[in-house]
Protein backbone atom coordinates (compact mmCIF):
# COMPACT_ATOMS: atom_id res chain seq x y z
CA UNK A 1 0.00 0.00 0.00
CA UNK A 2 1.31 3.45 -0.79
CA UNK A 3 0.88 6.34 1.66
CA UNK A 4 -2.19 7.63 -0.13
CA UNK A 5 -3.87 4.26 0.34
CA UNK A 6 -2.79 4.04 3.97
CA UNK A 7 -4.22 7.54 4.50
CA UNK A 8 -7.53 6.56 2.94
CA UNK A 9 -7.71 3.36 4.91
CA UNK A 10 -6.32 4.27 8.32
CA UNK A 11 -6.37 8.02 8.89
CA UNK A 12 -9.59 9.61 10.13
CA UNK A 13 -11.01 12.03 7.58
CA UNK A 14 -13.26 15.00 8.14
CA UNK A 15 -15.18 14.75 4.87
CA UNK A 16 -16.19 12.22 2.22
CA UNK A 17 -13.90 13.97 -0.25
CA UNK A 18 -10.53 14.82 1.31
CA UNK A 19 -8.26 17.06 -0.77
CA UNK A 20 -5.64 14.28 -0.89
CA UNK A 21 -2.74 16.58 -1.67
CA UNK A 22 0.37 14.60 -0.74
CA UNK A 23 2.55 17.31 0.75
CA UNK A 24 6.30 17.08 0.59
CA UNK A 25 7.16 20.48 2.09
CA UNK A 26 5.81 23.95 2.65
CA UNK A 27 7.51 27.31 2.36
CA UNK A 28 6.02 30.80 2.75
CA UNK A 29 2.65 30.83 1.04
CA UNK A 30 3.32 27.67 -0.96
CA UNK A 31 2.73 23.96 -0.52
CA UNK A 32 4.76 21.54 -2.66
CA UNK A 33 3.48 18.05 -3.35
CA UNK A 34 5.60 14.93 -3.78
CA UNK A 35 5.59 15.48 -7.55
CA UNK A 36 7.09 18.94 -7.12
CA UNK A 37 3.84 20.71 -7.95
CA UNK A 38 3.40 24.04 -6.21
CA UNK A 39 0.13 25.32 -4.70
CA UNK A 40 -0.74 28.64 -3.09
CA UNK A 41 -1.93 27.69 0.40
CA UNK A 42 -5.06 29.65 1.18
CA UNK A 43 -5.73 27.50 4.26
CA UNK A 44 -2.51 28.38 6.15
CA UNK A 45 -3.09 25.55 8.60
CA UNK A 46 -6.53 27.09 9.31
CA UNK A 47 -4.76 30.36 10.18
CA UNK A 48 -2.24 28.73 12.52
CA UNK A 49 0.63 29.19 10.05
CA UNK A 50 -0.31 32.81 9.61
CA UNK A 51 3.28 34.02 9.25
CA UNK A 52 3.78 31.70 6.31
CA UNK A 53 5.21 28.20 6.39
CA UNK A 54 8.64 27.77 7.95
CA UNK A 55 9.15 31.44 8.62
CA UNK A 56 12.88 31.67 9.47
CA UNK A 57 12.28 33.52 12.73
CA UNK A 58 9.82 30.86 13.88
CA UNK A 59 12.08 28.00 12.79
CA UNK A 60 15.04 29.55 14.65
CA UNK A 61 13.00 30.01 17.85
CA UNK A 62 11.66 26.44 17.72
CA UNK A 63 15.14 25.00 17.17
CA UNK A 64 16.62 27.05 20.02
CA UNK A 65 13.85 25.97 22.34
CA UNK A 66 14.12 22.29 21.48
CA UNK A 67 17.80 22.40 22.35
CA UNK A 68 16.92 23.58 25.88
CA UNK A 69 13.74 21.69 26.81
CA UNK A 70 10.47 20.54 25.29
CA UNK A 71 7.49 19.71 27.48
CA UNK A 72 7.92 20.31 31.20
CA UNK A 73 4.60 21.09 32.85
CA UNK A 74 1.17 21.87 31.48
CA UNK A 75 -0.15 23.90 34.43
CA UNK A 76 1.11 27.20 35.80
CA UNK A 77 3.72 25.72 38.14
CA UNK A 78 7.13 26.31 36.63
CA UNK A 79 8.59 29.59 35.43
CA UNK A 80 9.34 28.81 31.80
CA UNK A 81 10.96 31.62 29.91
CA UNK A 82 9.14 31.31 26.53
CA UNK A 83 5.76 31.16 28.27
CA UNK A 84 6.52 34.09 30.56
CA UNK A 85 7.85 36.23 27.72
CA UNK A 86 4.83 35.45 25.58
CA UNK A 87 2.42 36.34 28.40
CA UNK A 88 4.25 39.65 28.87
CA UNK A 89 4.05 40.45 25.16
CA UNK A 90 0.30 39.80 25.14
CA UNK A 91 -0.35 41.79 28.28
CA UNK A 92 1.72 44.72 27.09
CA UNK A 93 -0.57 44.91 24.06
CA UNK A 94 -3.90 44.44 25.84
CA UNK A 95 -6.03 46.83 27.89
CA UNK A 96 -4.85 47.04 31.51
CA UNK A 97 -7.77 45.01 32.90
CA UNK A 98 -6.83 42.01 30.75
CA UNK A 99 -3.76 41.06 32.71
CA UNK A 100 -3.66 37.30 33.15
CA UNK A 101 -3.04 34.71 30.43
CA UNK A 102 -4.21 31.12 30.67
CA UNK A 103 -2.53 29.06 27.97
CA UNK A 104 -4.46 26.28 26.28
CA UNK A 105 -4.03 24.08 23.21
CA UNK A 106 -6.92 25.09 21.01
CA UNK A 107 -9.82 27.45 20.45
CA UNK A 108 -12.29 24.88 21.77
CA UNK A 109 -10.34 24.49 24.95
CA UNK A 110 -10.24 28.27 25.41
CA UNK A 111 -14.03 28.38 25.12
CA UNK A 112 -14.45 25.51 27.59
CA UNK A 113 -12.21 27.32 30.09
CA UNK A 114 -13.98 30.65 29.58
CA UNK A 115 -17.44 29.14 30.10
CA UNK A 116 -16.29 27.42 33.27
CA UNK A 117 -14.68 30.62 34.52
CA UNK A 118 -17.90 32.57 33.89
CA UNK A 119 -20.02 30.07 35.80
CA UNK A 120 -17.64 29.93 38.72
CA UNK A 121 -17.16 33.69 38.90
CA UNK A 122 -20.83 34.65 38.63
CA UNK A 123 -22.45 31.62 40.29
CA UNK A 124 -24.93 31.60 37.36
CA UNK A 125 -25.29 29.15 34.52
CA UNK A 126 -27.11 30.78 31.60
CA UNK A 127 -24.86 31.45 28.64
CA UNK A 128 -25.88 33.63 25.73
CA UNK A 129 -24.52 32.89 22.29
CA UNK A 130 -25.48 33.78 18.72
CA UNK A 131 -27.01 32.10 15.72
CA UNK A 132 -24.39 31.20 13.11
CA UNK A 133 -21.61 31.37 15.69
CA UNK A 134 -18.72 28.93 15.55
CA UNK A 135 -16.85 28.15 18.75
CA UNK A 136 -15.27 24.75 18.22
CA UNK A 137 -16.11 21.09 18.40
CA UNK A 138 -15.86 20.00 22.03
CA UNK A 139 -19.17 19.43 23.83
CA UNK A 140 -19.31 22.78 25.64
CA UNK A 141 -18.29 24.66 22.49
CA UNK A 142 -20.87 22.75 20.46
CA UNK A 143 -23.52 23.69 23.01
CA UNK A 144 -23.15 27.37 22.13
CA UNK A 145 -22.73 26.81 18.40
CA UNK A 146 -25.19 28.65 16.21
CA UNK A 147 -25.76 26.04 13.52
CA UNK A 148 -27.91 23.25 14.93
CA UNK A 149 -27.22 20.92 11.97
CA UNK A 150 -23.69 20.47 13.30
CA UNK A 151 -24.85 19.63 16.81
CA UNK A 152 -27.91 17.45 16.28
CA UNK A 153 -26.04 14.15 16.57
CA UNK A 154 -24.53 15.07 19.94
CA UNK A 155 -27.58 16.08 21.92
CA UNK A 156 -28.26 16.49 24.77
CA UNK A 157 -25.60 19.16 25.15
CA UNK A 158 -25.31 21.80 27.90
CA UNK A 159 -28.57 23.24 29.28
CA UNK A 160 -29.31 26.95 29.79
CA UNK A 161 -27.97 28.20 26.50
CA UNK A 162 -29.91 31.02 24.84
CA UNK A 163 -29.14 32.11 21.29
CA UNK A 164 -29.72 35.61 19.93
CA UNK A 165 -29.65 36.90 16.38
CA UNK A 166 -26.23 38.41 15.77
CA UNK A 167 -26.23 42.19 15.57
CA UNK A 168 -29.90 42.69 16.54
CA UNK A 169 -29.86 45.26 19.32
CA UNK A 170 -33.54 44.82 20.22
CA UNK A 171 -32.76 41.29 21.45
CA UNK A 172 -30.12 42.36 23.95
CA UNK A 173 -32.80 42.74 26.62
CA UNK A 174 -32.79 38.93 26.79
CA UNK A 175 -29.48 39.28 28.60
CA UNK A 176 -30.41 39.56 32.27
CA UNK A 177 -29.11 39.13 35.80
CA UNK A 178 -29.46 35.37 35.23
CA UNK A 179 -26.81 35.47 32.53
CA UNK A 180 -23.31 34.31 33.40
CA UNK A 181 -21.68 35.21 30.10
CA UNK A 182 -22.25 36.40 26.57
CA UNK A 183 -19.97 34.62 24.13
CA UNK A 184 -19.59 36.59 20.94
CA UNK A 185 -17.27 36.68 17.97
CA UNK A 186 -16.69 40.41 17.39
CA UNK A 187 -16.49 39.35 13.76
CA UNK A 188 -18.36 36.14 12.94
CA UNK A 189 -15.97 34.13 10.79
CA UNK A 190 -17.47 30.78 9.78
CA UNK A 191 -20.75 32.58 9.14
CA UNK A 192 -19.06 34.57 6.37
CA UNK A 193 -17.19 37.50 7.95
CA UNK A 194 -20.15 39.30 9.50
CA UNK A 195 -19.29 42.52 11.30
CA UNK A 196 -21.79 43.96 13.79
CA UNK A 197 -22.12 47.72 14.06
CA UNK A 198 -20.06 49.65 16.59
CA UNK A 199 -23.33 50.75 18.15
CA UNK A 200 -24.26 47.10 18.75
CA UNK A 201 -20.98 46.29 20.47
CA UNK A 202 -21.31 49.44 22.57
CA UNK A 203 -24.83 48.41 23.61
CA UNK A 204 -23.43 45.08 24.73
CA UNK A 205 -20.78 46.77 26.84
CA UNK A 206 -23.40 49.10 28.24
CA UNK A 207 -25.18 46.16 29.88
CA UNK A 208 -22.10 45.36 31.89
CA UNK A 209 -20.71 48.74 32.74
CA UNK A 210 -23.81 50.91 32.95
CA UNK A 211 -26.60 48.52 33.84
CA UNK A 212 -24.15 46.72 36.15
CA UNK A 213 -25.30 43.24 35.17
CA UNK A 214 -21.77 42.00 35.90
CA UNK A 215 -21.83 39.60 32.98
CA UNK A 216 -18.65 38.27 31.50
CA UNK A 217 -18.30 39.20 27.86
CA UNK A 218 -16.23 36.56 26.19
CA UNK A 219 -14.95 38.07 22.98
CA UNK A 220 -13.74 35.19 20.93
CA UNK A 221 -12.52 34.74 17.45
CA UNK A 222 -9.92 34.30 14.84
CA UNK A 223 -10.66 37.48 12.92
CA UNK A 224 -11.01 40.00 15.70
CA UNK A 225 -7.57 40.90 16.99
CA UNK A 226 -7.47 44.57 16.10
CA UNK A 227 -11.10 45.01 16.86
CA UNK A 228 -10.84 43.38 20.28
CA UNK A 229 -8.14 45.81 21.33
CA UNK A 230 -10.12 48.81 20.12
CA UNK A 231 -13.25 47.75 22.01
CA UNK A 232 -11.78 48.12 25.46
Ligand X SMILES: Cc1ncc(COP(=O)(O)O)c(C=O)c1O
CB 166 → ligand X: shortest distance, Å? 13
CB 79 → ligand X: shortest distance, Å? 26
Residue number, 178 or 189, with CB nearest to ligand X: 189
Residue number, 207 or 219, with CB nearest to ligand X: 219
- Helix or strand or coil: residue 130? strand
Residue number, 141 or 215, with CB nearest to ligand X: 141
Residue number, 117 or 213, with CB nearest to ligand X: 117
- What CA–CA distance (Å, rounded) separates 40 from 30? 5
- What CA–CA distance (Å, rounded) separates 47 from 186? 17
CB 105 → ligand X: shortest distance, Å? 8
CB 103 → ligand X: shortest distance, Å? 13
From 145, 167, 168, 173, select the one nearest 157 (Cα to Cα). Answer: 145
Residue number, 42 or 79, with CB nearest to ligand X: 42
Residue number, 126 or 185, with CB nearest to ligand X: 185
User: Which residue's C-beta sits nearest to ligand X?
Assistant: 107
Residue number, 126 or 190, with CB nearest to ligand X: 190
CB 47 → ligand X: shortest distance, Å? 8
CB 220 → ligand X: shortest distance, Å? 6
CB 106 → ligand X: shortest distance, Å? 3
Footprint on this chain of ligand X (rule: CB under 6 A)? 46, 106-108, 134-136, 185, 189-190, 220-222
Angle at 131 between CA 127 and CA 134, to 5 degrees: 80
- What CA–CA distance (Å, rounded) separates 33 from 85? 36
Sheet with 216-219, strands from edge to edge, namely 161-164, 126-130, 179-184, 216-219
Residues 6+ apart with CB under 8 A from 41: 26, 29, 30, 31, 49, 53
Contacts 24+ apart (CB under 8 A), 161-165: 161/126, 161/127, 161/128, 161/129, 162/126, 162/127, 162/128, 162/129, 163/128, 163/129, 163/130, 163/131, 163/133, 164/128, 164/129, 164/130, 164/131, 165/130, 165/131
Residue 124 region by backbone torsions, left for phi larger than 0, else alpha for psi between -120 and 50, else beta: beta
Amino acid sequence: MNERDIFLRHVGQTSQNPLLLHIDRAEGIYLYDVNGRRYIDLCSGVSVSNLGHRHPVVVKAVKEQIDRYMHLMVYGEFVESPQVQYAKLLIDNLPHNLNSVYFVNSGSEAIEGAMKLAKRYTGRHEIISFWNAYHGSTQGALSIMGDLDFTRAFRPLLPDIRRLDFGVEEQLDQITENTAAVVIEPIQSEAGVLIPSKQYMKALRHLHFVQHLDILQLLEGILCRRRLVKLH
